[in-house]
Amino acid sequence: MVPPRPRRPVDAAAAAGPGRPKDLAKRAAILDAAKRLFTAQGFEGVSMDAIATEAGVSKLTVYSHFGDKDALFGEAVKSHCEQGMPASVLEDRPGQPVRERLTEIATAFYAMISAPEAVAGHRILCSPQVQDTPLPQLFWEAGPRRVQEGLKTLLDARVDAGDLDIPDTSIAASQFFTLLKGEPHMRLVFGCGCSGDPHVTAEAHVDACVEMFLRAYGARR
């Protein structure tokens, strides 16, 4: 009787087949490359070949991780938002005064939307080439919707604690971020500078928005 041949060790990642974990370092490199190129050249000006070359990987690897350029753009937006506004920024801290908590959130949000890659992303969404494509919805889900839902949860907690008086926290969360974008962000997107008044700093803009929000929704004790 011929003894069975010993089995060679099987690499766990290879055995996992198509569903095996992706290389996280390559994924991060692709996202970084995509953000740089989208910022510099716009959506239409960037090819998957260029992203692969910039990231130092094959085009097949890019497609393996993200599927297509639309999905990659959405993931680039999501990555930027999660870096600028991680979930921890939107967590409630019950012992912290509501003004201070909102100011921290507002500061992080304004820094995020003022970054060059975020401004470039808004310009891309304003271009005719992306109308009637999935990109606007991908952008909405990855960015504004996530931060608005996170703020709504915090506002609900502060209403329950008696710190705020808000009839509809979903509307209030949208209003808060809309106030923060305001004219300064519009001027950035249009390439007109950060503000019409050079003496109005980002900090002053944030403070004014938080003050207006609290005048509208602060609890009347």
Asked whether the domain spanning 86-217 has the same topology as the one spanning 22-67, the reply is: no
- CATH number listed for the domain at residues 86-217: 1.10.357.10
Name which of 9-13, 105-109, 165-169, 186-190 the model is least confident about. 9-13
Taken in order 126, 153, 162, 101, the sign of the CA dihedral is negative
Which residue has 């089995």 as its token pair? 7
Contact 109, 213 (CB under 8 A): no
- Could you tell me the pTM of the whole model? 0.73
Superfamily grouping for domain 22-67: Homeodomain-like (1.10.10.60)
Comparing 218 with 139, which gets the higher pLDDT? 218
Does the pLDDT of residue 55 top 90, yes or no? Answer: yes
Which phi and psi (to 5°) does residue 35 adopt?
-65, -40
Percent of the chain at pLDDT above 90?
48
More confident residue, 56 or 140: 56
State residue 199's pLDDT score: 63
Nearest to 218 by CA among 157, 159, 149: 159
pLDDT in tens, 110-151: 998 888 888 888 887 777 777 777 778 877 887 788 899 999
Parse the chain into domains and list their residue ranges: 22-67, 86-217
CA distance 105 to 90: 7
Q: What is the pLDDT of residue 51?
A: 95
Per the CB < 8 A criterion, the answer to whether 28 and 49 are in contact is: no
**Average predicted confidence (pLDDT) for the chain:** 84
